[in-house]
Amino acid sequence: MLLCARTGSIVNVGGILFMRKIIQEFKEFAIKGNVIDLAVGVIIGGAFGKIVTSLVNDIIMPPIGRMLGGADFKDLFINLGSDKPLPEGVAMHDIHTLTDATKYGVAVIAYGQFINVLLDFFIVALCIFMLVKGINILRRIKPEEAPAPAEPTEKECPYCLSQIPVKATRCKHCTSVLEEGTAAGS
């Protein structure tokens, strides 16, 4: 704690230093590539989700509905009835679409939409599974690494420049005594 010369009040320096440290750590965190990669992944994932939803709703489900007697899966629901009275001239048996049920406040179980969402999920899960499986296969296939260079078996005598075994303590050519640890070429 310090006394501020301008205002005469006590300043908590530890709190200021703590906040500066937090801000610095946040900057380091935000600038790291992992955060950017995560943001890009979330954006691409959102776009991919829209593509899959369109695939399910516009391409896969219409032929399935046609094969099942022309059913539109978006409109499949179980009518649970309504607590409030329906408008004049509308009977419960007149409600045939989910839009009508919502319009008149009828409680429903929209299992057709649930089927669409479930199929949507399975397609996304399958795509993610295939992507992860492919990445794992690529990780296992590594290019062959070059073998590490073999340790030298000979070195140069610093006195006569002849080649001698690395472990030699005396040169066989000039008979000079070599210091222990004399490096090759020194």
CA distance 40 to 30: 13
Question: For residue 86, what are the contacts with CB-CB under 8 A and spacing of at least 6?
Answer: 92, 104, 106
Give the amino acid at 163: Q
Q: Are 60 and 116 in a shared domain?
A: yes
User: 3-state DSSP call for residue 43?
Assistant: helix
Q: Are 129 and 183 in a shared domain?
A: no
Give the amino acid at 53: T
Q: At 78, list the tokens.
A: 């179980």
CATH number at 131 reads: 1.10.1200.120
What band does 105 get if pLDDT is binned at 50, 70 and 90?
confident
Question: Residue 79 falls within a domain, yes or no?
Answer: no
Q: Are 136 and 156 in a shared domain?
A: no
Q: Are 160 and 128 in a shared domain?
A: no
What band does 86 get if pLDDT is binned at 50, 70 and 90?
confident
Q: How far lies 50's CA from each of 36, 65, 102, 141, 186, in Å?
A: 22, 21, 24, 33, 69
Q: How far lies 126's CA from each of 37, 108, 123, 132, in Å?
A: 22, 30, 5, 10
Percent of the chain with pLDDT over 90: 9
pLDDT in tens, 17-51: 777 888 888 877 777 767 778 888 899 989 988 99
Supply the range of the domain harboring residue 53: 9-71+110-140
Under DSSP, the state recorded for 74 is G
Q: At 97, list the tokens.
A: 């679409």
CA distance 155 to 169: 11
